[in-house]
Amino acid sequence: MSDCHGCAGCAVAAGPPRSRKALPPHVVAIIGPPNSGKSTLFNRLTGLRQKVANFPGVTVEQRIGRARTKTDREVIMVDLPGVYSLSPRSEDEQVTRDVLAGQMKGIPKPDAVLLILDCTNLGRHLVLAAPILSLKLPTLVILNMADDLHSRGGKVDTAELASELGAPVALISAAKGDGVEKVFQFMEGTAAGTTSLAAPKVELPVLQDIPRCRQWAHQVGTGAAYQAPAPPLWTRRLDAVFLHPIAGLAIFVVVVAGVFQTIFSLAKPLMDGLQAMIQVSGQWITDTMPPSVFRSLLVDGVWHGVGSVIVFLPQILLLFLFIGILEDSGYLARAALIADRTMAKFGLQGKSFIPLLSAYACAVPAIMATRTIESKRDRLATILIAPLMTCSARLPVYTLIIAAFIPEHHLLGPLLGTQAGALLGLYVLGFVAAIGTARLLKSSILKSERTPFMLEMPPYRMPTLRSLGLRLYDRSKIFLRRAGTVILLVAVVLWLMLHLPLQNGKAPAIGDSFAGMIGHSVEPVIKPLGFNWKIGIGLISSLAAREVIVGTLGTIYSVEGTEESAGLRQALQSELTPGGAVALLIFFAFAMQCMSTIAVVRRETGGWKWPAAQFAYMTALAYVCALITNEVVRSGVLTIAARL
Amino acid sequence: MMQLSVNKELNGAQNGAMTPQTLAHLPQGEAGVLDRLDLPEDIARRLMELGFLPGHVIVPARSAPGGEPRVYRVDGSEVALRRETAARLILRPPSKGAAKTHKL
């Protein structure tokens, strides 16, 4: 019964309503090879009632959801990582084994297993049935993609297969929802304890011997009159275009540029709208509340602090929408294939391409997306360089400083002005720093044999709205939770630091506040970069998130804290030298000013070692480059002044 | 792994000084039968899980623009490999090519 305690704990953590009959929840694990439609089925069964976290102590994502059977029994569903076998060579396989054996902390031993296989490729997928059935847990063998099997002329005798395996078999289409009721019926049976284990007709093979297992699968398939479907013609036709030596490359460039362009142009009006809403509602609160310390905390601290981050939600959701479409349609695997050669030149591989592309929006999802890279060293290298790519949080900072210090001239006629050119230059700078660092890492501490690149090409499929919607819902939840916790905390702490210690019962001048004291104390360190103590406060507050510096400087100079504000621009022009301004841009290009990124790197690398090293490296790089920039610009300005 | 090394000896004895053909040499669209995987065990096992098993038929399909990596049709699915990996997958001499295949 101790299991029930553990599982009650996990149920409370997941926040479900208590089972009405007070029965212990029924625990069902879903397992299947990659590309078997496992997540689609999981979403089908649980809908929005799911939670994403990590398995304790490892970087493997844990998805737990809840479903309810017709008999009104609460079922806890555990989605296991996609694996081909249970031999514990990767973290994914180890986690799968531990969960199924009931040895994973916080997760009770499953009462039943749903084994999902792609029936258009049953020969290979059935191999996984051997280790699963040998566990002697009640198991439903789910043959997914029934619609594909039938439309391409394949056949299988499910009754015969069930008797061969000694386990019930259900032929379903998780994407269309056909046959999902059979899965519920199975769970009702296992929950009621009426399912009995039958002995398989075909003896299970020695699990460590892959050729034997494959032969066993062949034998079972033949016994069940399995007829493999014809090859996916549409996939071959589409590949003729998408992998065409010229057209394929052109499409790749258009897709990448298109994603990049849309997340900026399409997100802009949405972000502006959100920004305006936050401004207006902040103003409304100011107008309705009597002036007080509390109102200042609420409006200046909480509302604008959290608001400045929530503004990025549309952009992040758009990025995930595109990645979702690319992934669900099957094009993502082709993009990784096309990018592999170029990535290999920097010591990385094709699978690093998508995380690095995502890092243009935000390093946090990019680092989470590195999970698809099996090679530990390649994955680590990708995680370490992702924050150097120019993320969207740098944009407000860049825009403000460029507008204040770089006079607008035509560079290439009306096409490209100096300001846009400077912005483009900063993007290139981040990219060059990222690939330079990748080369450095891969030729030193992360040196490895060129890891074999092996990537399964799934057939092309039409992405479903349901799956895309669920992805966006998931991401918004994670993002908003972060804004509501970490960012909120920083906003409140900054506000307090700016308003304490009280002098004669009143908030002090900024220079005398705690924040001011900290700013003054770091001034000697940042002075060589051309920054004064006020910029110092901004730099420290932007450790939470880069864009926070805009709001902070706004507060410090007692002007409106938005990047459009001419007031802040003028204030900066009188505060910063041209050298200091350019140095500030360079500093932001390289420095790891982002708590969320540090937190996600710690989580994904399983400790403080790598985020600490990364933070030190990026800060040192930023400091040295900003120092050099300031000196170069200053002496340049002096030379010009001397000539005049 | 033991079985693989046995295969290696057999192959060496039969072919003598002839260099065995590898998957990297196989032209697009032409079928070859895998004989053995000349790779470290963990990588060989991962490839075997993807269908690259001795005795299986492999057909090279399209490649990325630039010729590399290439997609291979094997055991009902398509898997992309770099040339350097394909060059370590040794094929059976064509004569006994059509021998043992798991067609399912």
pLDDT tens, residue by residue, A182-205: 999 999 888 888 777 777 777 777
Is A446 in contact with A453 (CB distance < 8 Å)?
A: no
* B48·A121 Cβ contact <8 A: no
Across the beta sheet with A169-171, the strand order is A50-54, A61-68, A74-79, A26-31, A112-118, A139-144, A169-171
Whether A206 contacts chain B with CB within 8 A: no
What is the structure's pLDDT at A296? 78
Give the CATH number of domain A2-223; options: 3.30.2040.10, 3.40.50.740, 3.40.50.300, 3.40.640.10: 3.40.50.300
8 Å CB contact of B49 and A226 = no
For residue A534, name the pLDDT band (cuts at 50, 70, 90).
confident
pLDDT tens, residue by residue, A69-90: 888 888 999 998 888 888 877 7
Burial (CB < 10 A; 0-12, 13-18, 19+), residue A261, is exposed
The answer for A 116-135 residues in CB contact with B (under 8 A) is 120-124, 127
The C-alpha atoms of residue A275 and residue A260 are separated, in whole angstroms, by: 22
Residue A228 in this model has a pLDDT that exceeds 70: yes
Type and span of the H or E element at A180: helix A180-192
Q: What is the mean pLDDT of residues A493-511?
A: 76
**Which 8-state DSSP code applies to residue A59?**
S
Facing A453 at nearest CB: one of B69, B77, B104: B69
Q: How far is CA A543 from CA A37, A276, A318, A572, A596, in A?
A: 40, 25, 26, 20, 10
Which tokens hold the place of A117? 């296989």
The helix or strand, by DSSP H or E, that contains position B59, with its residue range, turns out to be: strand B57-63
Give yes or no for a contact between A296 and A462, defined as CB atoms under 8 angstroms apart. Answer: no
Question: CA nearest A36: which of A139, A148, A150?
Answer: A148
Test B68 with A341 for CB contact under 8 angstroms.
yes
Q: Which residues of chain A form CATH 3.40.50.300?
A: 2-223
Query: Which of B42, B79, B103 has its CB closest to that of A455?
Result: B79
The torsion angles phi and psi of A57, rounded to 5 degrees, stand at: 80, -5
Tell me: the pLDDT tens digits for A542-569? 887 787 787 777 777 754 444 445 567 7
Residue B52: predicted pLDDT: 95
Could B78 and A89 be called an inter-chain contact, meaning their C-beta atoms sit closer than 8 Å? no
| Cα-trace Rg, chain A | 28
* Structural domains of chain B sorted by starting position, each given as residue range(s) with its CATH number in brackets: 2-95 (2.30.30.90)
Instruction: Report the C-alpha gap between A529 and A517 in whole angstroms.
Output: 19
Mean of the per-residue pLDDT values of chain A: 83
* Dihedral sign from CA coordinates of A343, A349, A350, A356: negative
pLDDT at A58: 59
Q: How far apart are the first and last CA of chain A?
A: 87
Highest-confidence segment of A2-6, A55-59, A299-303: A299-303
Omega of the bond prior to A501 within 30 degrees of 0, cis? yes
Q: Using a CB–CB cutoff of 8 Å, tell me whether B3 touches chain A.
A: yes
pLDDT band at A337 (very low <50, low <70, confident <90, very high): very high
* Chain A residues closer than 8 Å to B43 by CB: 452
CA distances from A548 to A308, A518, A539, A593 (A): 7, 17, 9, 10
Set of chain A residues whose Cβ sits within 8 Å of the Cβ of B53: 210-211, 214
Is the bond preceding B69 in cis, omega lying within 30 degrees of 0?
A: yes
